[in-house]
A and B are shown apart, each in its own frame.
Chain A
Amino acid sequence: MAVKTYREALNDALREEMERDPNVFLMGEEVGLYNGAYKVSKGLLDLFGPKRVVDTPITELGFAGLGVGAAMVGLRPVIEFMTWNFSILAADQVLNSAAKLLYMSGGAFKCPIVFRGPTGAALQLAAQHSQALEGWYAHFPGLKIVTPATPADAKGLLKAAIRDDDPVAVFEGELLYALKGEVPDDEDFVIPLGVADLKREGSDVSIITHGKMLHVALQAAEVLAKDGIEADVLDLRSLRPLDMEAIEATIRKTNRAVYVEEGWPFAGVGAQIATLIQEETFDYLDAPVLRVTQADVPMPYAKNLEKLAKPSVERVVEACNRVLYRKVG
């Protein structure tokens, strides 16, 4: 174990997987000479050379599709989107090509590709650069969706994604890159997709979340603890596959749930989870499942408005109190 940043953990995962498998290469804007817009690929060009760490033109649709073609014939591309916001330009290749290849070809062609980059809002980047798109991508069968929230998860999940035979979209947190945490050194530290992680244990209410919002959820749990309320905080870690067993276990324990996500509410991840909870664990529920999401607006630039738009600790605490039918203040 060593204390590393989320960024370093991702870098370790890339380096180790590129050392392990010569078919793995990294491609994207500024990933080589510039060491990555967020420095995730720092040093990799020096280690692996320009054949395997490839700076592209600004041409998201083109290099995403190039990755799909390379994956069709057995390479294992890691395609970096500088941010997932820009992946919208490449959506045809992610959604119409990568996600459908295996099925449309009757199993003839696999597509072992990773698309990765930061998702969600950072600070005052305004509407086009502040979107959490994992819920949108999760809508499409054929893709796997991973959302690491800690340095250890970042390493273990990215390694699993690279080794997976399906297209995996890894949604990193733009504000998490500098986050520090214990990370196993083991080169085979792989976290299987589809296994959620209970990041805090409690028995009064379940806060279920994914990605960066884990940290908002944990802070909310701290606030609640001071008030004598103990929350289970369940980090899904991957949305497809989804660890429904873990969701069911926490609901059976607490009988109340709040979903926290950075994305918008309509057909969002929380909408899906709330539906599954009511369909499959209705008898264990003592309150409706509530969601805390981004305000249903494009992200504003103004600092005060941006704060209002984002899910906050206060709103999570408030939602927990509501599902507990507690009157506070």
Chain B
Amino acid sequence: MADAKTAARRKETGRGREGGGLDGLSREELHHLLYQMLLGRRFEEKSAEAYAIGKIGGFLHLYIGQEAVAVGTQAALRPDDYVIDAYREHVQALVKGISARAGMAELYGRIDGCSKGKGGSMHLFSAEHNFMGGWGIVGGQIPMATGIGWAIKYRGEDRVCVCFMGEAAVNQGAFHESLNMAALWKLPVIYIVENNRFGMGTAWERVASLYDISQKANAYAMPSAVADGMDVLDMRRVVLEAVERARKDGTPTLIEARCYRFMGHSMSDPVHGVYRTKEEVEEAKKKDPIRIFIDRLREADLLTDEELNAIDERVQAEVQDAIEFADKSPEPGPEELYRDVYAQIPERGRLFFDSGYRAGKE
């Protein structure tokens, strides 16, 4: 996945520097990154199981294979920075701070979910953690991210907003309209394209006149970079540079993170067969970001088998707890049906027009 530039950068990163860590990260910090990646992986494996037995409905888009992008990116952020994403966002949400319990309960459509069960898999939100959704229309979150950047600048803050999207979103007008405004007005937004190669079943080269996504930033005089989305540390390094620029004077950046989706587009989409071969998927899995990271830590004597087992046990327990919590959480009551459609209910004047609402009122 990595091109020459990213390979060189990785080499530059050095190993075993700074007191036995990597990239300026301590052993504990590195273990935390591994923990986050594993949590994402196990959370999604469990949600796939729950989907198979009908506990989760609707669409379920899994992120398995792309964990390094979420974890590496967010390792470069502060808690008060904003993250907004499309609908393959479970792991981004967990890394931003939404608990596995609140996330799983949302997938289950329960009242203790982070969106009270009214959003589901595609619409995870948390004001507390500055996780701005979970949006279901391809590219729809990009102008909103730009607006969050606008608000940061309006208030003179030094926060940043990270906007994730899949590569297919790059062909939407919303992408181009947003990049133009962000560059024009210097809005501190970091647009990260998770190029997992396929927009549903359509390979990127079948729908893009220009393969190299990072080059699209040139049209808006915006800095850009390519990151190895299978390498958590490379992701972090690239995002750190962008964050520094954004905090300094609001300069936005476009980052293409080259990664790969190991699962189908959603649960109804087979892993391989129609638009990619089994061999291709197996080849990509050799670069599993979690396995790569574990190997790297082991090579640098930064992870023992005991430590790895302890992390994995902790993750498995956390996910098991989330499943049990979600299963026990009540469904939203019928009073939730009309709640939060409007924040402000007028004294006079009708807002709802269906006969069910009127029947409930009588």
**A contact set with B: CB distance below 8 Å:** 25, 51, 56-57, 59, 61-75, 77, 92-93, 96-97, 101-112, 141-142, 144, 164-166, 192-195, 238, 240-245, 272, 276
- Asked if B303 lies at the interface with its beta carbon under 8 angstroms from chain A, I say no
CB distance B150 to A61 under 8 Å?
Answer: no
With A102-B343, A105-B123, A108-B114 known, 16 other A-B pairs at CB within 8 A are A61-B174, A64-B143, A66-B181, A70-B147, A70-B151, A74-B151, A92-B137, A104-B133, A106-B113, A106-B119, A107-B340, A108-B115, A111-B343, A141-B352, A243-B350, A244-B349
- Asked if B57 lies at the interface with its beta carbon under 8 angstroms from chain A, I say no
Contact of B150 among A66, A93, A110 (CB under 8 A): A66
Q: Which of B120-163 contact A (CB under 8 A)?
A: 123, 125-127, 132-137, 140, 142-152, 154
A144 vs B151: C-alpha distance when bound (angstroms): 23
A64 vs B146: C-alpha distance when bound (angstroms): 11
Residues in B with CB closer than 8 Å to A69 are: 84, 132, 143-151
* B: interface residue count bin: 35 or more
Contact of B342 among A63, A64, A71, A142 (CB under 8 A): A142
With A102-B342, A106-B115, A166-B342 as given contacts, are A70 and B143 in contact (CB-CB < 8 Å)? no
- How many whole Å from A266's CB to the nearest CB in chain B? 17
CB distance A272 to B342 under 8 Å?
Answer: no
- How many whole Å from B356's CB to the nearest CB in chain A? 13
Give B135's nearest chain A residue, CB to CB: A97
Give A102's nearest chain B residue, CB to CB: B340
Q: Which of B336-361 contact A (CB under 8 A)?
A: 339-344, 346-353
Residues in B with CB closer than 8 Å to A244 are: 349-350
**B contact set with A: CB distance below 8 Å:** 82, 84, 113-119, 123, 125-127, 132-137, 140, 142-152, 154, 173-174, 177-178, 180-181, 184, 339-344, 346-353
CB distance A73 to B148 under 8 Å?
Answer: yes
CB distance B127 to A108 under 8 Å?
Answer: yes
CB distance B135 to A195 under 8 Å?
Answer: no
A59 vs B184: C-alpha distance when bound (angstroms): 13
With A72-B132, A92-B140, A96-B137 as given contacts, are A104 and B148 in contact (CB-CB < 8 Å)? no
Residues in A with CB closer than 8 Å to B113 are: 106
- How many whole Å from A90's CB to the nearest CB in chain B? 9
Residues in B with CB closer than 8 Å to A106 are: 113-119, 125, 340
Contact of A193 among B82, B84, B173, B346 (CB under 8 A): B346
A272 vs B350: C-alpha distance when bound (angstroms): 13
Give A64's nearest chain B residue, CB to CB: B143
CB distance A57 to B180 under 8 Å?
Answer: yes
Contact of A62 among B148, B180, B343 (CB under 8 A): B180
